[in-house]
Amino acid sequence: MAEERKITRWVVATEQAGTRLDKFVAERGAVSRRIARTWIGAGRIHVKGRVLRVLTRPLRAGTVVEFIGQEPETGAASVREDRSDRAPDNLILYRDRDIVVVNKPGNLLSETDRFGGPSLETVVPRVLEAAGERSRLWLVHRLDAVTSGVLVMARTSSAARELNAVFREARATKTYLALVAGYLRKGRDIDAPIARVKGTRHGVVSGGKPSHTHVAPLVGSREATLVRATPTTGRTHQIRVHLASLELPLIGDQLYGGPRYRGEGPKVPIGRAMLHARRLKLPHPRTGEMMTFEAPIPPDFEEVARAFEIWEPSLS
């Protein structure tokens, strides 16, 4: 039986007017600021009925803030369950003396931001330390916070230099899976320049940086399509922007107009943009041997695909 969906509602009092969202959630949820930011990043905090992930957004008196899921007041066990910095069992896919290949969870930053929340840069070293291994790492490429999947990190400065060159010179092949709203009938080569539009939002803009993505449908319906995307450039939000430019935004991607809920009747919020880095092929930084790494499909991705009736069992 599916876990009962619970909603805890808080109202911003007059004396709390102007309080930023992460501080308000921490105070009302009786948790640390770091845990509050984790909830916000995971899409579990709704303001005025919509997911809000802007940590610093000041709140007005009378605003209703909702926590979606197990009530935070139920004790330490629920706090532990909500820690996105807890390493999943399949976090590390491969490691040797030069590289660590990880399976990044969705809604986890690749690199630590100015708020000091959990990221791969903090989670992976702890796993290596627990195994008695040296934990110094270099981040040589990134995935958006909302994106799950395969990512490689260097364990030496020489490996970092070589891998930086590999990505800069487009010698790595990256394959993603995406769930999009709408029907993609046939494959497309999207050759459209990308630039920042406003805040963190990017778009197809004349004069932007050259950007190319090949997309192909795997399973589709009138409502949604499971898509394979292969970018040959590495622009910020590239796949998300290119698919949105075709009026096929990622399911769960509120930044680019994707649907935020699924289901009929009581609607279930979708916790992130449905984008998964499925496969990465690149030369080993020391030996030059071509290596291919694959990240398993995360449960939330499969769950949403099944809900929209576009799941492909062979991907399991």
**pLDDT, tens only, 162-194:** 999 999 999 999 999 999 999 999 999 999 999
**pLDDT, tens only, 233-284:** 999 999 999 999 999 999 999 899 999 888 776 778 898 999 999 999 999 9
**Mean pLDDT score of the chain:** 87
pLDDT, residue 5, reads 57
- Residue 39: pLDDT above 80? yes
Distance CA 250, CA 241 (A): 9
The two tokens of residue 109 are 């930053």
Known catalytic residues are 144
Distance CA 44, CA 271 (A): 7
Angstrom distances, CA of residue 176 to CA of 79, 149, 217, 226, 281: 32, 8, 12, 11, 12
| Architecture, CATH, for domain 92-315 | 2-Layer Sandwich (3.30)
Q: Mean pLDDT over residues 225-230, rounded?
A: 98
pLDDT, residue 304, reads 94
Task: Mark 165-200 as b/e (b = at least 16 C-beta within 10 Å).
Answer: ebbeeeebebbbbbbbbbebeeebebebbbbeeeee
- Residue 204: pLDDT above 90? yes
72: confidence class by pLDDT, cuts 50, 70, 90: very low
pLDDT, residue 74, reads 35
Q: Mean pLDDT over residues 35-46, rounded?
A: 84
80: confidence class by pLDDT, cuts 50, 70, 90: very low
Per cent of the chain over pLDDT 70 is: 90
Domain locations along the chain: 7-81, 92-315
82: confidence class by pLDDT, cuts 50, 70, 90: very low
Read off φ and ψ for residue 115, nearest 5 degrees: -90, -10
pLDDT, residue 49, reads 84
pLDDT, residue 89, reads 67
Distance CA 81, CA 100 (A): 26
- CATH label, 7-81, candidates 1.20.1440.230, 3.60.20.30, 3.10.290.10, 3.40.50.11540: 3.10.290.10
pLDDT, residue 159, reads 97
- CB contact at 8 A, 27 and 68: no
pLDDT, residue 73, reads 39
